[in-house]
Chains A and B, each alone.
Chain A
Amino acid sequence: MTEMRPQDILLPTADGLCCKPGGFHIDPVRPVERAVITHGHSDHARAGHGAVLATQETLDMMRLRYGESFAGSTQIISYGEELRLGDVKVKFHPAGHVLGSAQIAVTCKDTCIVASGDYKDAPDPTCVPFELVPCDVFITEATFGLPVFRHGDAALEVNKLLASVALFPERAHLVGAYSLGKAQRVIALLRKAGYDAPIYLHGAMEKITEYYQSRGIDLGELRPAMGVKKAQLAGTITLAPPSATSDIWARRFPDPVTAFASGWMRVRARARQGGVELPLVISDHADWDGLTATIAATGAGEIWVTHGQEDALVHWCKTKGLRARPLDLVGYGEEEESEPQAEGEAEA
């Protein structure tokens, strides 16, 4: 019996990662006949595919963003469930990135490839924890693929925010956070730290936050920031998309302290660029230690590295005797490098 080469199972194409023997694409960036989707962020979950296979939450998020007719047909798959598609089997495992996020294990004959999408191995009260899946080939993201990125304990960052609120009770605290996942995680962490005052929301994140609550995630009392008098916002915390914190919208707040919850905040120049006064290192992606520990633990002999700092991670794999190569996939996390825009916002 001839063994299957991994690239015969999954191959990067202009449309995204293509599984020929299974007849589908993973997280395609252009409309395809059959799409298997890891999670609901807009750069991974796009509208216009023929059939979509994803978790219940991911499908719901796509519906929220694109409307009912975002795909020809949809099929729900749960964590741990295995399906046969063409000549391959696919199985979904929690990725710990955001609510409903999954790693997709594709098995053909004796070869198992795990496309992990975006993932983190750190605890998050708003989603199912990352599950380690042993495999032959591991496809990893490299958003924070440099050893300068170490995220630390998110709870300590939230304490920093609360200490600032205590120090400046007459100012509003504006926390920039990506609308899907990060915002809800920050709110959940604030509640865990004992903060029980109402938390205010920018209009752009109301719908998705309500959806989190409808899935049984307790976020306490939330209020829209719109229409609230300036003076009443003193001493409060408001969550907003990162771009909004430096826009005209921010003028409604009394002397706002601008915070930003992101893994990028580890690097000063990045934080300063965005005019951030209170950088909070909270990320939904694995940091350098998380990436390298996960790669080692999967037992995979071959590593494919995609979106982010591929060079450093590929170099590290090679020093550990692993075969590694960058995957040329385009269209993921691109917006992170430019000035963040309210629409088409990327996450990190």
Chain B
Amino acid sequence: MNRFAELLDRLAYEPGRNNKLRLLTGYFREIGDPDRGYALAALTGALSFKHAKPALIRDLIAARTDEVLFGLSYDYVGDLSETVALMWPKAEMAAHNNPPPPTLTEVVTTLRTLGKTELPKQLERWLDELDETGRWALLKLVTGAMRIGISARLAKTAAAALGDKDPHEVELIWPGLSPPYLDLFAWLEGRSEKPVNRDPAPFRPVMLAHAIEDSDFASLDPADYIAEWKWDGIRVQAVAGRDDQGQITARLYSRTGEDITGSFPDLVPSLRLPGAIDGELLILREGRVQSFNVLQQRLNRKIVSPKLIKEFPIHLRAYDLLGDDENDLRELPFAERREHLEIFIRKLDDPRIDLSPTVPFTSWDALTAARADPASAGAGEDADAVEGVMLKRRDAPYLPGRPKGQWWKWKRDPHIIDAVLMYAQRGHGKRSSYYSDYTFGVWTETENGEELVPVGKAYFGFTDEELLQIDRFVRRNTTEKFGPVRHVVHESDKGLVLEVAFEGLQRSPRHKSGVAMRFPRISRLRWDKPPREADRLETLEKMLKADESLPTIKVAASADGH
């Protein structure tokens, strides 16, 4: 446990992805089974036990320490687990008789079977046995609050590196594996064959798209791509397979691999051909796709009543085929998978499952026109449920994660405004010597006359060269310093204008300007523009009104299937 804690501790401070990988791979190499497997499970969120409540941790520390000292310490440290880990006083016991600290395996396997009433005593014993970092990691683990900036994908990539394997291969077999992953490590170390997935209807990690920027098109050839409509529904994977007895098992998964079959029993009878479809879940009424708002009324319901099923008839619009019966199609180019998909859907011949049509185009101009008017470009009456187009490389295999340059989503135009740099703050990690977090504002009329009012903060979008330029500008044009924040000159004829792109606007009473941006980023530096020509708050308010009148605006970002 102490070694695992040391790893977590180091990872929590390391900002670089490659360095995180090195730390992780180093750990997997150094530590044997089954500890490293449980570590991998902890990092990928694959451990399941009942988490301890903060109140329990508070009770434990209260029994051991002075209340006033705990209060002062907690105020200073600001994190319960950390405060307890640091100030936990060792129990008085004979030095030669100390039990060794628990291993990660002991902790995980004990937690799985421990009754609720036994937990406090057990935790207390472990806290006595571990060092500060060990106690911190233990408390993070048992309270279920790991949050150390490691994605499951990164942990799997580090494991793959142990055997010089492509992380993709690990992703493909992952759904059939379980902690402590003895078979996985045996394969990675060349001691055995690659593990096979025995689940008849397993989830396949999904492939995601990048948002396309105007500047991307220059380097893309229309002939390399197939376009489809981007539907405003939820991304799902519908899998059917035969078990050992030859019976069909059907499951519906969310994009993160959560089994959501129970919420859509009306779709299950339609999944009768063995295969794995990647598609969009929609509500169809009289053959017409309904808006996301309608679909949302069917989501997250505990009880799926016959009435709900009848009023919100579910439909699957298919756009990819990952498996056809026994055959894994994921290594095939998209164009070939598409052919398999078309045959599969025809063979299935089911009213609840249809094919997402492709959008024919020969030039980017033609596609731009289609995207601007989906109704006359083939989407017909469903045009309202189209939120853009998807571009998929003809030759792209199905790669889990968000690989570069394979799939693009091209949504409505992002909003763009010119704003003035007002404050700058140092970045973190590699950027700690640069002023790389920027607060920008637009003009508005106040009782003091024309003033800049902050409307957002951005810390990416610029190139390394542009970062150097802004950093230099900030250092030379600082008017005041407040701790780590520099107040940068912003007058009508002195200052730096930033072109800021963002995805959407929301009203926000928390901001002085009354608006909040989604995903703001610096898209260009406008050295040529004097600050007085930057945009005004009224411009944003107009954009906000336009956004609010759009019927297909989504309430939650999590619904974005791509």
Contacts and interface: CB of A to CB of B under 8 A. Distances in A.
A95 B70 CA distance: 29
A309 B72 contact: yes
A276 B13 contact: yes
Contacts of B68: 312, 315
Contact of B484 (A147, A250, A339): A339
B367 interface: no
A272 interface: yes
Given A250-B433, A338-B483, A339-B483, A269 B77 contact: yes
A319 to B, nearest CB: 7
A338 B19 CA distance: 30
Nearest to A276: B13
A269 B429 contact: no
B483 A277 contact: no
Contacts of A267: 76-77, 82, 86
Nearest to A316: B69
Interface in B11-47: 12-16, 19, 22-23, 26
B72 A258 contact: no
A272 to B, nearest CB: 7
Which interface residue of A258, A272, A275, A315 has the most chain B CB atoms within 10 A?
A275
A53 interface: no
Interface residues of A, number: 34
Contacts of B483: 338-339
B508 interface: no
A150 to B, nearest CB: 7
Contact of B15 (A150, A250, A277, A316): A277
B533 interface: no
Contacts of B78: 269
A148 B82 CA distance: 9
A315 B69 contact: yes
B23 A150 contact: no
A5 interface: no
A1 interface: no
Contacts of B132: 150, 152, 266
B73 A147 contact: yes
B272 interface: no
A183 to B, nearest CB: 20
Given A147-B73, A276-B13, A251 B79 contact: no
Given A247-B433, A268-B82, A277-B13, A312 B23 contact: no
A248 B433 contact: yes
A233 to B, nearest CB: 16
A147 B65 contact: yes
A312 B429 contact: no
B429 A146 contact: no
A266 B426 contact: no
Contacts of A279: 13
Interface in A270-322: 271-272, 275-279, 309, 311-312, 315-316, 319
Nearest to B76: A146
Contact of A167 (B26, B66, B73, B432): B26
A250 B431 CA distance: 11
A168 interface: yes
Interface in B106-160: 132
Contacts of B73: 146-148, 312
B19 A258 contact: no
A325 B427 CA distance: 41
A16 to B, nearest CB: 27
A311 B72 contact: yes
A39 B15 CA distance: 38
Which interface residue of A146, A251, A312, A316 has the most chain B CB atoms within 10 A?
A146
B484 A168 contact: no
B161 to A, nearest CB: 14
A313 to B, nearest CB: 10
B87 interface: yes
A258 B69 contact: no
Contacts of A272: 13, 428
A120 B429 CA distance: 32
A246 B69 contact: no
Given A150-B86, A268-B82, A312-B73, A275 B426 contact: yes
A148 B484 contact: no
Contact of B66 (A150, A269, A277, A319): A319
B439 interface: no
Nearest to B132: A150
B34 to A, nearest CB: 24
Given A168-B22, A339-B484, A268 B12 contact: yes
Nearest to A247: B433
B406 interface: no
B65 A246 contact: no
A148 B77 contact: yes
B19 A168 contact: yes
A146 B78 CA distance: 13
A271 B69 contact: no
B83 interface: yes
Contacts of B83: 148
Nearest to A251: B433
Nearest to A272: B13
Which interface residue of B13, B14, B82, B87 has the most chain A CB atoms within 10 A?
B13
Nearest to A244: B433
B340 to A, nearest CB: 46
A266 B258 CA distance: 39
A20 B338 CA distance: 94
A58 B113 CA distance: 61
A24 B500 CA distance: 63
A240 B433 CA distance: 15
A149 B14 CA distance: 23
Interface string B63-96: 0011011001100111100110011010000000
Interface string B361-374: 00000000000000
A148 B85 CA distance: 8
Nearest to B427: A275
Contacts of A339: 483-484
Nearest to B71: A312
A146 B74 CA distance: 10
Interface of B: 10, 12-16, 19, 22-23, 26, 65-66, 68-69, 72-73, 76-79, 82-83, 86-87, 89, 132, 426, 428-430, 432-433, 483-484
Interface of A: 146-150, 152, 167-168, 246-248, 250-251, 255, 258, 266-269, 271-272, 275-279, 309, 311-312, 315-316, 319, 338-339
25 contacts: A146-B72, A146-B73, A147-B87, A147-B89, A148-B77, A148-B86, A167-B26, A168-B19, A246-B433, A247-B433, A267-B77, A267-B82, A268-B12, A268-B79, A269-B79, A272-B13, A272-B428, A275-B432, A276-B13, A278-B13, A309-B76, A312-B72, A315-B68, A319-B66, A339-B484
Given A148-B73, A277-B429, 15 more contacts: A146-B72, A147-B65, A147-B69, A148-B77, A251-B433, A258-B432, A266-B86, A266-B132, A268-B82, A275-B428, A275-B432, A276-B13, A311-B72, A312-B68, A319-B66
Ranked nearest first, the 9 interchain pairs of A and B with the lowest CB-CB distance are A275-B432, A148-B86, A147-B87, A246-B432, A148-B73, A312-B72, A277-B13, A148-B87, A146-B73
